Amino acid sequence: MQEPELAGRVALVTGAGQGIGEAVVRALVERGARVAAVDRNAEGVKELEAEFGPATVTAHPADVTDSAAVDEVVDRVERETGPLGILVNVAGVLRTSPVVDLGDEDWSQTFAVNTTGVFHTSRAVARRMSGRGSGCIVTVGSNAAGVPRAGMAAYAASKAAATMFTKCLGLELARTGIRCNVVSPGSTDTAMQRGMWGGDPDAPDRVVNGDPASYRVGIPLGRIAAPGDIADAVTFLVSDRARHITMHDLYVDGGATLRA
């Protein structure tokens, strides 16, 4: 029987308590990895640990905006579980507002999680990976980083910054054998997405069909992504099947950005 493709590898996933992050944890476990699940939502990651058992998934409640807490988690994982070979940055927040109404705190918190959090985790893990000469880092960005979205300036700008940071990191680390890539989802069926709908039963149809009033095209493939669709892209990029891919931004949006 063939060994799972990620058997023996240790992964750290942020934003693991729900949505895309939870789906990434499940996909990595299915492929044989041991996973450190990080989220400031302690309940979500503890449920994953209880489901899979601490030999497979360990829960690490932590806030990625706190660099000391991130360093402590990475130290603990390396000490108790093993050398990290995979990092997946999923933790993110969304604050929607027209720019003229956007508050300083909303702007700051969006960047603190979506951009600075990626910096904290990537720096902590890369310091250890670089000495070993191997490893994969994937940042889950957004297709909003590549196309303007009304009411989403803070989110889009923070994801664009995280995307370019990850590519620059990939360039710096390429000679050490570490690969750094980005997965950019479009509309995905998560609590974050549903939070933008405000209970409107017609909102999903507008997402799929487009909304000319907000200069937004629809989804050519005709459906909203499932979290597992994004997780499959992540697991491909951290696998040996993608061993010659780095600094790449893989859009998983059903064609919504009409990206060339």
Q: Are 110 and 155 in contact (CB under 8 A)?
A: yes
Q: Give dist(CA 136, CA 125) in Å, integer.
A: 10
Per the annotation, the verdict on 251 as an active-site residue is: no
Burial class of residue 199 (count of CB atoms within 10 Å of its CB; 0-12, 13-18, 19+): exposed
Cβ atoms of residues 129 and 176 within 8 Å:
yes
Marked catalytic residue, from 155, 178, 181, 218? 155
Integer-rounded Cα radius of gyration of the chain? 18
8 Å CB contact between 161 and 115: yes
Going by C-alpha positions, the residue among 48, 53, 58, 50 that lies closest to residue 12 is 58
Distance between CA atoms of residues 165 and 37, nearest Å: 23
Q: Report d(CA 181, CA 245) in Å as an integer.
A: 8
Residues with a catalytic annotation lie at 155
